[in-house]
């Protein structure tokens, strides 16, 4: 709960939309599920070491794999709850709530990409979650409905 409040309070000022782009030294192929031969299965919780931050795949001990899987599952659950709360804000429909919710989702996804060793699996699982919950569809509907106007 305190981490969610931190996501909510850090730099999210209602009415002002200023999201700095995170500095990442990766090519688009590193971020593409099409270019990634490891993401062929529909379940992205299969555990691989993150090649974006740590280089080529290495063998992990069974204990390390279990710890990484546990971390992945707990972070995934926690971040899914943050995203659910953010979309509750977005569903309220006011400009401030939409900006607040989008800011929280952006921060959660940025933090997921920076998490050591599991960032790839965590981020892709969160993308699957966003897609499965139809959150992008609801966000698009917010912007194309008749009551939405530009300032």
Distance CA 59, CA 65 (A): 9
Answer yes or no: are the C-beta atoms of 104 and 137 closer than 8 Å.
no
23-50: pLDDT as tens digits: 444 444 444 444 444 444 444 544 444 4
Check whether 113 has a pLDDT greater than 70. Answer: yes
| Residue 151 pLDDT > 50 | yes
Q: How sure is the predictor about 126, in pLDDT bands with cuts at 50, 70 and 90?
A: very high
Question: What is the spatial distance between Cα 8 and Cα 103, in angstroms, rounded to a whole number?
Answer: 8
| Whole-prediction pTM | 0.59
Which of 34, 150, 42, 100 lies closest to 108 in space, CA to CA? 100
Report pLDDT for 118.
86
Average pLDDT, the chain: 73
Query: For position 144, what pLDDT does the model report?
Result: 84
Higher per-residue pLDDT: 71 or 148: 71
pLDDT tens for 47-96 read 444 444 454 455 668 888 888 899 889 999 999 999 999 999 888 888 88
- Nearest Cα to Cα of residue 108 among 87, 137, 80, 146: 80
Residue 6: pLDDT band (50, 70, 90) is low
């Amino acid at each position: 709960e305190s981490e969610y409040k931190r996501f909510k309070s850090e730099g999210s000022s209602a009415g002002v939309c200023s999201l700095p782009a995170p500095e990442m030294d990766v090519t688009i192929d590193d971020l593409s599920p099409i270019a990634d031969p490891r993401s062929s299965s529909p379940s992205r919780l299969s555990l691989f070491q993150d090649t974006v931050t740590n280089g080529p795949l290495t063998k992990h001990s069974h204990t390390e794999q279990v710890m990484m899987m546990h971390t992945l599952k707990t972070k995934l659950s926690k971040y899914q709850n943050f995203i659910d709360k953010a979309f509750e804000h977005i569903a309220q429909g006011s400009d401030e709530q939409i900006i607040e919710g989008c800011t929280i989702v952006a921060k959660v996804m940025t933090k997921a990409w920076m998490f050591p060793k599991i960032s790839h699996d965590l981020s892709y699982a969160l993308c699957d979650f966003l897609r499965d919950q139809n959150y992008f569809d609801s966000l698009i509907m917010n912007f194309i409905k008749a009551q939405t106007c530009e300032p």
